[in-house]
A and B are shown apart, each in its own frame.
Chain A
């Protein structure tokens, strides 16, 4: 059973596509052990007595608090916020029900901040998104259903998105066109003064759109440009145009030329070292969108609104569809800066005689973290997003990582800093321990920090740690995917003994007889 749902009204139809089992109405007596996730989904009943309604909400809170003491801390527990479906106030000034609901919702968020297994799902957002008609008296009286069955399918989709957001599944990069997308008009024809961007419509709509994009960037979305224009015109725009919302340093990479956009996007993906399937392409020109859809089906290409006044709404929908996340980690916010710093690092490395000299000059600081409340959300996020340097590609939720921790496994991640900037936590590993042997179940690295052999140094560091603990033998494997080709020789290159290959899966072993020497410029700090 995937979900066990505590509820006080008919919700079965909402979860048809989920493997869900339901409690009796308002029943909190049972906590089935085999549920992967628990869900708390209560809504106020239809009650025209406001005093009773407020008391009911208070009672939900008491029930939830009691149930909470019995839900295992290592299982995810999803709490739905409350909203009043129907309220009748004899005293029009009474805020009794509203106060009780606000108090209840605040309580949910407090719980989530104290227990890492608790996540809040803001059900109000769903109600607002479907708008009028979500409640239908007929269905309520026939079946106790508070949600019009018409919206069951959209609920199922919405709920899936919330789960993805909690698990950290999102796209990474917005690739933007310029003319008639970031401003009205065509820069090359209308000139700097002629393009529409500013205080009056339609320029104001583009202005607002850019503010939203900047916001998305601050929330960890990487922005790239792909435009058919003269690069010099665009550079002049950045230099001279009085209205500057999205500035040049907000853009991680760009292709401003006359080459076809599919080729440009492919190049952008390569330059930023991200997968095409993590890109979303925004362009006002349907022909360009069609060509990219045809040639790069893994890139997401939403339709662009015909009227500029729809741009803010459009951006909101794109963001919710592709980039929503549950909790912003500090890592996301820094991402663009890191991609930019990476480019500088590449230029810098060309002036050294050998790799050692270059690596030593970086002043790397590698900070080791064990799996805990702070690091596990980031480790889970990495397992979801990392494709290229990932030996076994396990997609793990926070819960599953906690399970490793409880089983005694070595769960670690690494914060990587150098003179160019702080890359944050960009390496993660999980090693199960069985008496004197160990097996590397997960080993992955964000591609932002590739090219410095940190992966090798870190693997050796872990081997030395294991050796100190008296482990004699470590096992490892490489599981091929469409994207992790570059790691297929990793263990061979690190001195592991190749045992066998079956269905492409390569198995390795290494005896831990002595300490492996690690270059001194890899400064590990525990």
Chain B
């Protein structure tokens, strides 16, 4: 999975510097990651990786680690 791509999509969706993000980033430690921008990120991920997430997944994908995991599940 392309971690760098995900991080750059996150930077765009949250409107923050890419340098502020890393593999430990989650909604808990990034205030810009609010519920509205969360949806922007989901849409961007769906477009980029041509996947579609279920509402249950979207609710869980609030950290970089989970996003990578769910992407792996969806793409297989």
- Using a CB–CB cutoff of 8 Å, the interface residues on chain A facing chain B are 10, 12-13, 138-139, 141-143, 145, 148-150, 152
Contacts and interface: CB of A to CB of B under 8 A. Distances in A.
Given A143-B39, A149-B40, 14 more contacts: A12-B36, A13-B39, A13-B40, A138-B53, A138-B55, A138-B58, A139-B39, A142-B59, A143-B36, A148-B43, A149-B39, A149-B42, A149-B43, A150-B47
Nearest to A148: B43
B47 A13 contact: no
A152 B37 CA distance: 11
9 contacts: A13-B36, A138-B53, A142-B55, A143-B35, A143-B39, A149-B39, A149-B40, A149-B43, A150-B43
B54 A138 contact: yes
B36 A141 contact: no
Chain B, interface size category, equals: 10 to 19
Residue among B36, B39, B42, B54 having the largest count of chain A Cβ atoms under 10 Å: B39
Interface of B: 35-36, 39-40, 42-43, 47, 53-55, 58-59
A227 B10 CA distance: 49
A13 B15 CA distance: 13
Contacts of B35: 143
**Which 10 pairs, one residue from A and one from B, show the smallest C-beta to C-beta distance?**
A149-B39, A149-B43, A150-B43, A13-B36, A138-B55, A142-B55, A12-B36, A141-B55, A149-B40, A142-B58
B36 A142 contact: no
Contacts of A141: 55
A409 B40 CA distance: 47
Nearest to B37: A13
Nearest to A138: B55
Nearest to B57: A138
A152 B44 CA distance: 12
A150 B47 CA distance: 9
Contact of A145 (B39, B47, B53): B39
A152 B42 CA distance: 13
A10 B42 CA distance: 17
Nearest to B53: A138
A141 B59 CA distance: 11
A40 to B, nearest CB: 21
B38 to A, nearest CB: 8
A466 to B, nearest CB: 52
Nearest to B52: A138
Nearest to B13: A149
Contacts of B43: 148-150
Nearest to A142: B55
Contacts of B47: 150
A143 B40 CA distance: 12
Contacts of A10: 36
Contacts of B36: 10, 12-13, 143
A139 B36 CA distance: 11
B40 A152 contact: yes
A200 to B, nearest CB: 42
B60 to A, nearest CB: 12
Contacts of A150: 43, 47
Contacts of B39: 13, 139, 142-143, 145, 149
Contacts of A13: 36, 39-40
A12 B38 CA distance: 13
A107 B66 CA distance: 49
B31 to A, nearest CB: 16
Nearest to B41: A149
Contacts of A148: 43
Nearest to A150: B43
